[in-house]
Amino acid sequence: MKIALTGGTGFIGSHFLKQALSDGHTVLAIRRSLSSEPRIQLNQQPVWLDRRLDKVTLEDLKGCDVLVHLAAHTGNVPYDSLTNCLRWNLIAVLELFEQARQAGIKRFIVAGSCFEYGRSGERYSKIPSDAPLEPTNTYAASKAAASIALWQWAEEHQLSLEILRVFHVFGDGELNTRFWPSLRKAALLGYNFPMTLGTQVRDFQYVEHVARVFLTRCLMSSTICKPSPSVYNLVTGRPLTLRDFASIWWSHWNASGRLIFGSRQSRADEILRYVGGQSSLKLPHFLGSLIDSSKGV
């Protein structure tokens, strides 16, 4: 299979690339510049296309069977302005998808975000995939707008579109300022780790499992996939508080320091519960990955 991929130098995208290439697939990986490198080491390289999303042409995409969109503009704090987020997470993506359609691609798989649900998440113990989208920041608003627009675009052209809403992903290659890499660094150096009370409830997902789901969806037979849009939440079915998540890893790493709960304040606008429900695609729980993931420690 020949896969067109955006975000191949990003967190999830780097793991997707590694798995797809190892499985023998051809990947045309779109990256913004030659200087962009995957977050993890690859055993082999894809066919790199050094273009901005809005500069990719139908000639570039001819011969590809599916387009997997994992790229995101400012998916971490600090978020860019709403204008720029909409430009790169919505307008440029629509332009790219239209070029892909004209090139003959009929299957599209998109990484959505749990943050699209925003305040809506507080009203559900398990957020259904058809819950209202009530984002609370510019990045999430642009992703929600893209979901709505791409849904309409796919219906209009009778194309297979799957939006897979990812919850809280962690693992090797993650931005080092995020929670799990910061926790690991403190544990391995023997430092104490100050954090909030940790009452936030999350569905923590191991990045290799998330990448595998995206690749598996690529390989679904065209006779199974509907020529219409669908939205799925990626879930493990095992939500944890941030406190429990930190404690499990702290123990796994045999950390000599202490977790200092309550020494930091939660963000004022933070949603305390993000747990996905139906319609969902099931992931393994990260506890089954502790041995594998410790190889990168």
**What confidence tens digit (pLDDT) does each residue in 93-148 have?**
999 999 999 999 999 999 999 999 999 988 999 999 999 999 999 999 999 999 99
Work out the number of other CB atoms within 10 angstroms of the CB of residue 163.
Answer: 24
Q: How confident is the model at residue 149 (pLDDT cuts 50, 70, 90)?
A: very high
Report pLDDT for 279. Answer: 76
Planar angle of CA 91, 168, 287, nearest 5 degrees: 150
Report pLDDT for 221. Answer: 59
Report pLDDT for 297. Answer: 38
Q: Where are the alpha helices (DSSP H) in the chain?
A: 11-22, 58-61, 82-86, 92-102, 138-157, 179-189, 207-218, 242-252, 290-293
Q: Is the pLDDT of residue 292 over 60?
A: no
Q: At what angle do helices 92-102 and 138-157 cross, to 10 degrees?
A: 20
Q: Is the pLDDT of residue 167 over 90?
A: yes
Q: How confident is the model at residue 225 (pLDDT cuts 50, 70, 90)?
A: low
Q: Is the pLDDT of residue 84 over 50?
A: yes
CB 193 within 8 A of CB 183: yes
Please tell me the pTM assigned to this model: 0.93
Full set of structural domains in the chain with CATH: 2-169+204-235 (3.40.50.720), 174-202+238-275+285-296 (3.90.25.10)
Helical (H) or strand (E) element with 230: strand 229-235
> What is the rounded average pLDDT of the residues 166-185?
97
Report pLDDT for 288. Answer: 63
Percent of the residues in the chain that have a pLDDT greater than 70, as a whole number: 95
Q: Is the pLDDT of residue 12 over 90?
A: yes
Report pLDDT for 109. Answer: 97
Report pLDDT for 290. Answer: 58
Report pLDDT for 34. Answer: 79
Q: Is the pLDDT of residue 291 over 60?
A: no
Q: Give the model confidence (pLDDT) of 15-33 as tens digits.
A: 999 999 999 999 999 998 8
Q: How confident is the model at residue 61 (pLDDT cuts 50, 70, 90)?
A: very high
* Residues contacting residue 15 through CB under 8 Å, at least 6 positions apart: 40, 171, 173, 207, 208, 210, 211
> What is the rounded average pLDDT of the residues 47-51?
96
